[in-house]
Structure 1
Amino acid sequence: MTGVPALAVRDLTVDHAGRGNPPTRAVDGVSLTLEPGGALVLLGESGSGKTTLARAVLRLSGRAARVTGRVELAGQDLLALDERALRPIRGRRVGYVPQDPAGSLDPLRRIGAQIAEVLLSHRVADGRAAARTAVPGLLERAGISEPGRAARSYPHELSGGQRQRAAIALAVCCGPELLVADEPTTALDALVRAQVLDLFAALRADLGVALLLVTDDLWAARRTGGAVAVMSGGRIVETGPVDTVLSRPEHPLTVGLVTARPSERR
Structure 2
Amino acid sequence: MSAPLLQVSDLTVTHHHAGGATRAVDRVSFTLRGGEALVLLGESGSGKTTVARSLLGLPGRSARATGRIVLDGQDLRSLDERALSGIRGRRVGYVPQDPTGSLDPLRRIGAQLTEVLRRHGAADSRRAARGAVPALLESVGIADPDRVARSFPHELSGGQRQRAAIALAVCCGPRLLVADEPTTALDALVQAQVLDLFGRLRAERGIALLLVTHDLAVARGTGGTVAVMRAGRVVETGPADQILDHPAHPFTTDLVTAQPGTPR
TM-score (norm 2): 0.98
Shift in Å at residue 190 of structure 1?
A: 0.3
Q: Which amino acid aligns with 1:14?
A: V
The partner residue of 1:171 within 164, 169, 172 is 169
C-alpha distance in 1, partners of 2:123/2:156? 25
Measure, in 2, the Cα distance between the counterparts of 1:26 and 1:18. Answer: 13
Match of 1:236 in 2: 234
What CA distance in whole angstroms lies between the structure 2 residues aligned with 1:4 and 1:177? 13
The answer to whether the 8 Å contact 1:4/1:75 transfers is: no
For residue 122 of structure 2, what is the aligned residue in structure 1? 124
Does the 8 Å contact 2:56/2:84 carry over to 1?
Answer: no
Give the aligned residue type for 1:103: G
Q: Contact 1:258–1:265 at 8 Å: present in 2 too? A: no
* AA at the equivalent of 2:61: R
- Of the three residues 175, 182, 185, the one matched with 2:183 is 185
For residue 256 of structure 1, what is the aligned residue in structure 2?
A: 254
Percent same amino acid among aligned pairs?
70
Aligned partner of 1:152 in structure 2 is: 150
Task: Look up the match of 1:51.
Answer: 49
Structure 1 residue 265: Cα displacement:
4.5
Aligned partner letter, 1:199: L
Q: 1:113 aligns with which of 111, 114, 121?
A: 111
| 5+ residue gaps, structure 2 | none
SS at match of 2:261: helix
Aligned-residue CA RMSD (Å): 0.9
Could you tell me the TM-score, scaled by structure 1's length? Answer: 0.98
Cα deviation, residue 214, structure 1: 0.1
Deviations 1:32-54 (A, max 9, x none): 11111100000001111100110
Unaligned runs of 5+ in 1: none
Contact 1:180–1:212 (CA<8 Å) still a contact in 2? Answer: yes
Does the 8 A contact of 1:37 with 1:211 survive in 2?
yes
Within a 5 Å distance, the mapping from 1:87-102 to structure 2 comes to: 87-102=85-100
Aligned position for 2:3: 4
CA offset at residue 18 of structure 1?
Answer: 1.2
Give 2:55's aligned amino acid: V
Q: Provide the residue aligned with 2:132 in structure 1.
A: 134
AA in 1 matched with 2:175 = E
Deviations 1:138-194 (A, max 9, x none): 001111110000000000000000000000000000110000000000000000000
Matches of 2:82 and 2:49, distance apart in 1: 24
Please name the residue that 1:223 is paired with.
221
> After the TM superposition, which residues 41-80 of structure 1 pair with which residues of structure 2 at under 5 Å, given as runs?
41-80=39-78
| Counterpart code for 1:77 | D
Task: Say whether the 8 Å CA contact 1:105–1:167 is kept in structure 2.
Answer: yes
CA offset digits 1:213-247 (Å, max 9, x no partner): 00011111111110000000000000000011101
Contact 1:95 1:178 in 2 (8 A): yes
Q: Distance in 2 between the 1:29 and 1:102 partners?
A: 32
Aligned match of 2:17:
18
Cα deviation code 1:57-94 (max 9, x no counterpart): 11111331000001111121111100111122110000
SS of equivalent to 1:51: helix
Secondary structure of 1:264's counterpart equals coil
1:195 aligns with 2:196: no
SS at match of 2:110: helix
Counterpart CA distance in 2 for 1:40 and 1:157 is 33
Q: Check whether the contact 2:32–2:208 (CA below 8 A) recurs between aligned residues.
A: yes
Q: 1:83 aligns with which of 65, 74, 81?
A: 81
Measure how far apart 1:5 and its partner are: 1.2
